[in-house]
Amino acid sequence: MEKNLIVYKSALLPYSETFIKEQVQACRTWHPVLAGTHAVDGLDLDGLDVRLLWPAASTRWGQQAAKVLREIGLPFPGSVRKLRAVHARLVHVHFATEFVAIWPCLVRLNLPVLVTLHGSDINIHRNWWETSGFGPAASNYPRRLLELARQPLVHFIAVSDAVRTTALAYGIPPDKVHTRYIGIDLERFRPTDLPMEQRRPRILYVGRMVEKKGGQHLIAAYAALRSRMPEAELVMVGDGPLMPQLKAQAEALRVPVQWLGRQSSDDVRREFERASVFCLPSITAENGDAEGLPIVIMEAQASGVPVVTSARGGATEGIVHGETGLAFAEGDTEGLTQALLRVLNEAGVADRMARAAVPFARRRFDIQRCTALLESDYDKWAQHERPANAYAEVLA
């Protein structure tokens, strides 16, 4: 019997979710069918088995209709029929927010469900959801998530131990969630022949320009750093709502930040080839949003670039402090400045960390090994007995 699997994410598939595409491509013993409500202008999905459940969700009226359907607990028109046609043995949903939204459809499939928790879906404070003003679907999200977590055929996968710890504090039972790293393609992210001592002191940032990424702390640290190392460069890759604010900060501090905007994964890989250090100065946002385990930290180390970070998950399990990079406290601009100075200015530090980073990343974050472990989860979870009325109480 063919082992078909539904991998669900509503919008297929923004550039920021390359990790979903790469995880699907890395499956070897299961046949993943990537399902979503609609397509977006993003990643090239040619060669993947893709099913669009309700393309109208990309239109303005469709978004409103989808919101109404979520509020009253009904599936998107035709979605259950399309998913049943996959003949899947289980469903893997990325993000708990997506899981709660698509539940009216999932409950009618009567299949085991695995939900990957990525960070924002479990880190954002419960009271923020409950008072967000985005309607009943948002305000009821924490309660619904915990209700659905009790379903016997629902289990959670955390992308880091830090996310798992938060999930437990949120109220998800310990036996309902375990950690699996997503991993990266080590064939694409590899060190180059250009040694660290021959590179310019070039700091690289890659991420969205949003509160939790902490870009303002990096710009402030860069301004302090340049008084000691005027030749130091800062390259910031990404886009987002805080871009104007960050550019204004750099202009006020008179520091020559190189703004590259949104770049493809291949472009980011080429930036790693020139960088002396990668920096992700993440913080916990006001609403509680925080990193899970940023993929880009893994990519940097696999490329032979030391990492300086405060990212939750990343600073504790994504690097080896003092060996493959340096961790510092969230929002500690002085600590960030000193960490960057140590990597860029102390003889041999960058080279030593770069050499240690590669085997660490290959050992811990190889997507082939990580996905093989995930597929073992699929095997285990697909064997769970599915009585005809498994979700009868929920449907009642």
Q: Which domains does the chain have, with CATH numbers?
A: 4-183+366-395 (3.40.50.2000), 196-364 (3.40.50.2000)
Helices within the chain (DSSP H only): 18-25, 60-72, 79-84, 96-106, 120-123, 126-130, 136-139, 141-149, 161-170, 215-226, 243-253, 265-272, 295-302, 333-345, 349-364, 367-382, 392-395
| Whether the Cβ atoms of residue 182 and residue 269 lie closer than 8 Å to each other | no
Token digits for 208? Answer: 């969205």
DSSP 76: P
pLDDT tens-digit profile of 331-367? 999 999 999 999 999 999 999 999 999 999 999 999 9
pLDDT tens-digit profile of 286-333? 999 999 999 999 999 999 999 999 999 899 999 999 999 999 999 999
Residue 392 has what pLDDT? Answer: 43
What is the chain's mean pLDDT, rounded?
Answer: 93
Q: Residue 281: which of 343, 339, 223 has the closest Cα?
A: 339
What does pTM read for this prediction?
0.92
Say whether 280 sits in a helix, a strand or coil: strand
Q: Residue 298: which of 370, 389, 236, 239 has the closest Cα?
A: 370
* Residue 241 to residue 89: CA distance in whole angstroms: 40
